[in-house]
Amino acid sequence: MREPEPEIIRRAQAGDQEAFETLVRGAQADAFRFAFHLTGDRGLAEDVTQDAFLRAYRALRSFHGEAKFSSWLLRIVRNCAVDAYRKTRREVAASIERKDPAAPAPSDDRLRIAEAIRRLPMELREPFVAIEILGFNYAEASAILHIKTGTLKSRMYRARLRLMRALADDEAAHEM
Amino acid sequence: MRCETARTAISQAMDDLRAVAPSVTDHVSGCAECRDFIHGVRRIRELTRFEVASDVPDLAPAIMAKVEAEAEARRGRRLRKRAMRRPRLHGPRRRGDPRTRRVVGVGLAAGLVTGAVLTGGGLVSVHQTDTAALADVIPARLNGAASTLEGYRATFDITELDWTRAVPQRTFVADLAFREPESFLVRVHDTTRYPSAAWPRNDLSLVSDGHMWQASGPNPCPRAELPACPQSQPVVRTVVDRMPFDASTAMPTDVIVPMTVLAASDRVDVVGPVTVGGRAAIVVELTYQDATPLFGCLQFLGSWRPYYPTDRVLVALDQETWLPLRYQVYPAPTAERLAWAAAEGLPRELSTAPVFTATIRSVSTQVPPTDTFTLPPVEGAVDEGFKDLPLSSVALVAQATLIEPKQTEGLPVVRIGTLARTAARPYQAVTFAYARGLSWLTITRVTSWEQQAPYGVGPLAEAVPLLGGSAVALYEPASASEPRRLALHTDQGEFLVASNLPRSDLVAVASSLPVKGLALPETWSNRTWYGGSVRAGLGVEDAIFQAGFDVLLPRVLPTGYGAAAALLVQSGDSKGITITYRRPAAELGDGLLLTESTGQSLPPPSGADQQVVSLRGTLARWSPDEGRLEWIENGLYCSLAGPGFGLADLVSIAASLRGV
- Residue B628: give its domain's CATH number: 3.30.200.100
Q: Per-residue pLDDT tens for B50-73?
A: 655 556 778 888 888 888 877 766
Q: At what angle do helices B22-29 and B3-16 cross, to 10 degrees?
A: 120
> From CA B257, how far away is CA B164, in angstroms rounded?
31
Residues of A in contact with B53 (CB under 8 A): 29, 33
Region of residue B635 (left: phi > 0; alpha: psi -120 to 50; beta: else): left
Average pLDDT of the segment spanning B413-432: 91
Residues of B in contact with A134 (CB under 8 A): 604
Residue B85, pLDDT above cutoff 70: no
State the Cα angle at A49 between A46 and A54, rounded to 5°. Answer: 125
Region of residue B85 (left: phi > 0; alpha: psi -120 to 50; beta: else): beta
The pLDDT score that the predictor gives to residue B232 is 64
Residue B486, pLDDT above cutoff 90: yes
Burial B207-234 (b: 16+ CB within 10 A, else e): bbbbbbbbbbbbbbbebeebbebebbee
Residues of B in contact with A57 (CB under 8 A): 67, 70
Q: Which of B203-207, B254-258, B298-302 has the highest mean pLDDT?
A: B203-207
Structure-model confidence comparison of residues A164 and B102, the more confident one: A164
> From CA B626, how far away is CA B600, in angstroms rounded?
20
Q: Per-residue pLDDT tens for B214-239?
A: 999 988 887 777 887 766 678 889 99
Taking the Cβ of residue A3 and every Cβ of chain B, the question of whether any pair is shorter than 8 Å is answered with yes
Q: How confident is the model at residue B93 (pLDDT cuts 50, 70, 90)?
A: very low
Q: To the nearest whole angstrom, how far is the Cα of A133 from the nearest Cα of chain B?
A: 6
The pLDDT score that the predictor gives to residue A1 is 59
Strand order in the sheet with B611-615: B526-529, B532-538, B562-571, B574-582, B592-598, B636-641, B628-633, B618-623, B611-615
> From CA B644, how far away is CA B629, in angstroms rounded?
13
* B254 and B397 part of one domain: no
Structurally, how many domains does chain B consist of?
4
> What's the fold here for domain A102-176?
Arc Repressor Mutant, subunit A (1.10.10)
Taking the Cβ of residue A47 and every Cβ of chain B, the question of whether any pair is shorter than 8 Å is answered with no
Average pLDDT of the segment spanning B606-628: 81
Q: Which helix (H) or strand (E) holds B13?
A: helix B3-16
Q: Are B10 and B24 in contact (CB under 8 A)?
A: yes
Which of A36, A133, A162, A165 is the mutation pick for testing B, counting most B CBs within 10 A? A133
Residues of B in contact with A21 (CB under 8 A): 60, 64
Could B59 and A20 be called an inter-chain contact, meaning their C-beta atoms sit closer than 8 Å? no
* B492 and B614 part of one domain: no
Among B84-93, B158-167, B512-521, the minimum mean pLDDT is found in B84-93
The pLDDT score that the predictor gives to residue B490 is 92
* B242 and B320 part of one domain: yes
Q: Among B235, B234, B337, B321, which residue's Cα sits nearest to residue B281? A: B321
- Write down the H helix ranges in B425-578: 503-511, 522-525, 540-546
* B463 and B611 part of one domain: no
Q: Count of CB atoms within 10 A of residue B274's CB? A: 17
Among B47-56, B109-118, B457-466, B540-549, the minimum mean pLDDT is found in B109-118
Could A164 and B47 be called an inter-chain contact, meaning their C-beta atoms sit closer than 8 Å? no
The pLDDT score that the predictor gives to residue B120 is 30
The pLDDT score that the predictor gives to residue B547 is 93
Which of B4, B14, B48, B249 is the mutation pick for testing A, counting most A CBs within 10 A? B48
Give B567's strand partners.
B578
Instruction: Count how many pairs of residues, chain A against chain B, have C-beta atoms within 8 Å.
Output: 126
Which of B2, B11, B626 is the mutation pick for testing A, counting most A CBs within 10 A? B11
Q: How far from chain centre, in Å, is Cα B123?
A: 31
Q: To the nearest whole angstrom, how far is the Cα of B13 from the nearest Cα of chain A?
A: 10
CATH of A1-99, one of 1.10.1740.10, 3.30.420.40, 1.10.3720.10, 2.40.420.20: 1.10.1740.10
Q: How confident is the model at residue A2 (pLDDT cuts 50, 70, 90)?
A: low
Among B101-110, B311-320, B379-388, B461-470, the minimum mean pLDDT is found in B101-110
Residue percentage of chain B with pLDDT more than 70: 87
* B404 and B350 part of one domain: no
The pLDDT score that the predictor gives to residue B12 is 86
Region of residue B29 (left: phi > 0; alpha: psi -120 to 50; beta: else): alpha
The pLDDT score that the predictor gives to residue B426 is 86
Residue B537, pLDDT above cutoff 70: yes
Taking the Cβ of residue A122 and every Cβ of chain B, the question of whether any pair is shorter than 8 Å is answered with no
Residue B77, pLDDT above cutoff 60: no
Residue B623, pLDDT above cutoff 50: yes
* B324 and B413 part of one domain: no
Q: How confident is the model at residue A92 (pLDDT cuts 50, 70, 90)?
A: very low
The pLDDT score that the predictor gives to residue A93 is 38
Residue percentage of chain B with pLDDT more than 90: 39
Taking the Cβ of residue A174 and every Cβ of chain B, the question of whether any pair is shorter than 8 Å is answered with no
Q: Where in chain A is the domain with CATH 1.10.10.10?
A: 102-176
> From CA A85, how far away is CA A44, in angstroms rounded?
8
Residue B380 domain flag: no
Strands B386-389 and B413-419: antiparallel
Q: How confident is the model at residue A91 (pLDDT cuts 50, 70, 90)?
A: very low
Q: Per-residue pLDDT tens for A3-29?
A: 787 778 888 888 888 889 889 988 888
Residue B13's domain comprises 3-49
Give B430's strand partners.
B418, B445
Residue B437, pLDDT above cutoff 90: yes
Q: What is the CATH number of the domain that holds B248?
A: 2.50.20.10
Burial A33-63 (b: 16+ CB within 10 A, else e): bbbbbbbbbeebbbbbbbbbbbebbeebeee
Among A21, A66, A164, beta carbon nearest to B64: A21
Q: To the nearest whole angstrom, how far is the Cα of B246 from the nearest Cα of chain A?
A: 14
Residue B491 domain flag: yes
Among A68, A153, A154, beta carbon nearest to B531: A68
Average pLDDT of the segment spanning B431-441: 95
E strand intervals along B199-252: 204-208, 213-218, 234-240
Which of A148, A149, A164 is the mutation pick for testing B, counting most B CBs within 10 A? A164
* B334 and B393 part of one domain: no
Q: Output phi, psi for B522, to 5 deg.
A: -55, -40
Could A29 and B44 be called an inter-chain contact, meaning their C-beta atoms sit closer than 8 Å? no
Q: To the nearest whole angstrom, how far is the Cα of B498 from the nearest Cα of chain A?
A: 18
Residue B527 domain flag: no
Could B11 and A157 be called an inter-chain contact, meaning their C-beta atoms sit closer than 8 Å? yes
The pLDDT score that the predictor gives to residue A110 is 67
Q: To the nearest whole angstrom, how far is the Cα of B228 from the nearest Cα of chain A?
A: 20
Q: Which residues of chain A from 59 to 118 reach within 8 Å of chain B, CB to CB? A: 65-68, 109-110, 113-114
CA distances from B593 to A67, B80, B460 (A): 26, 46, 10
Average pLDDT of the segment spanning A71-93: 72
Give B417's strand partners.
B388, B431
This prediction's pTM: 0.67
Residue B145 domain flag: yes
Residue B453, pLDDT above cutoff 50: yes
* B271 and B179 part of one domain: yes
Residue B86 domain flag: no
The type of residue at B399 is: Q
Strands B234-240 and B382-383: parallel
> From CA B124, how far away is CA B239, in angstroms rounded?
41
Among A36, A68, A132, beta carbon nearest to B45: A132
* Three-state secondary structure call for residue B398: helix
Among A91-100, B44-53, B553-562, the minimum mean pLDDT is found in A91-100
Could B604 and A133 be called an inter-chain contact, meaning their C-beta atoms sit closer than 8 Å? yes
> From CA B276, how far away is CA B280, in angstroms rounded?
7
Q: Which of A86-100, B90-104, B132-146 has the highest mean pLDDT?
A: B132-146
Among A14-28, B196-210, B595-609, the minimum mean pLDDT is found in B595-609
Residue B581 domain flag: yes
Residue B541 domain flag: yes
Q: Are B583 and B561 in contact (CB under 8 A)?
A: yes
Among B248, B451, B606, beta carbon nearest to A29: B606
Residues of B in contact with A51 (CB under 8 A): none
Residue B468, pLDDT above cutoff 90: no
Q: To the nearest whole angstrom, how far is the Cα of A97 from the nearest Cα of chain B?
A: 22
Q: To the nearest whole angstrom, how far is the Cα of B41 from the nearest Cα of chain A?
A: 6
The pLDDT score that the predictor gives to residue B447 is 92
Average pLDDT of the segment spanning A126-134: 86
The pLDDT score that the predictor gives to residue B126 is 37
Q: How confident is the model at residue A98 (pLDDT cuts 50, 70, 90)?
A: very low
Which of A21, A113, A160 is the mutation pick for testing B, counting most B CBs within 10 A? A160
Which of A18, A53, A68 is the mutation pick for testing B, counting most B CBs within 10 A? A53
Among B12, B56, B423, beta carbon nearest to A33: B56
The pLDDT score that the predictor gives to residue A116 is 87
Q: Are B283 and B354 in contact (CB under 8 A)?
A: no
Q: What is the DSSP string of B339-388?
A: HHHHHHTPPP--TTS-SEEEEEEEEE-SPPPGGGG-----TT-EE--EEE
Q: Where in chain A is the domain with CATH 1.10.1740.10?
A: 1-99
Average pLDDT of the segment spanning A34-47: 84
Among B123-127, B413-417, B530-534, the minimum mean pLDDT is found in B123-127
- Write down the H helix ranges in B131-251: 131-147
Residue B250, pLDDT above cutoff 50: yes
The type of residue at B233 is: Q
The pLDDT score that the predictor gives to residue B151 is 93
Q: Output phi, psi for B109, to 5 deg.
A: -60, -60
The pLDDT score that the predictor gives to residue B51 is 53
Residue B44, pLDDT above cutoff 60: yes
* B597 and B469 part of one domain: no
Burial class (CB in 10 A: 0-12, 13-18, 19+), B473: buried
Average pLDDT of the segment spanning A142-168: 89
Residue B84 domain flag: no
Predicted-complex ipTM score: 0.80
Q: How confident is the model at residue B112 (pLDDT cuts 50, 70, 90)?
A: very low
A145 half-sphere exposure, CB direction, 13 A CA radius: 28
Average pLDDT of the segment spanning B611-615: 84
Q: To the nearest whole angstrom, how far is the Cα of A80 from the nearest Cα of chain B?
A: 15
* B485 and B566 part of one domain: no
Chain B residue at shortest CA distance from A46: B59
Average pLDDT of the segment spanning A161-172: 84
* B501 and B587 part of one domain: no
E strand intervals along B556-635: 562-571, 574-582, 592-598, 611-615, 618-623, 628-633
Structure-model confidence comparison of residues B222 and B383, the more confident one: B383
The type of residue at B374 is: T
* B12 and B65 part of one domain: no
Q: Output phi, psi for B106, to 5 deg.
A: -125, 35
Q: What is the DSSP string of B119-149?
A: -TT----TTTS-HHHHHHHHHHHHHHHHHT-
Chain B residue at shortest CA distance from A18: B248
Residue B254, pLDDT above cutoff 60: yes
Structure-model confidence comparison of residues A61 and A76, the more confident one: A76
Structure-model confidence comparison of residues A86 and B185, the more confident one: B185
Taking the Cβ of residue A120 and every Cβ of chain B, the question of whether any pair is shorter than 8 Å is answered with no
Burial class (CB in 10 A: 0-12, 13-18, 19+), B440: buried
The pLDDT score that the predictor gives to residue B471 is 79
Residues of A in contact with B604 (CB under 8 A): 132-135
Contacts of B373 (CB under 8 A, 6+ apart): B177, B179, B183, B184, B185, B207, B208, B209
The pLDDT score that the predictor gives to residue B396 is 92
Q: Among B328, B287, B286, B269, which residue's Cα sits nearest to residue B138? A: B269
Q: To the nearest whole angstrom, how far is the Cα of A43 from the nearest Cα of chain B?
A: 10
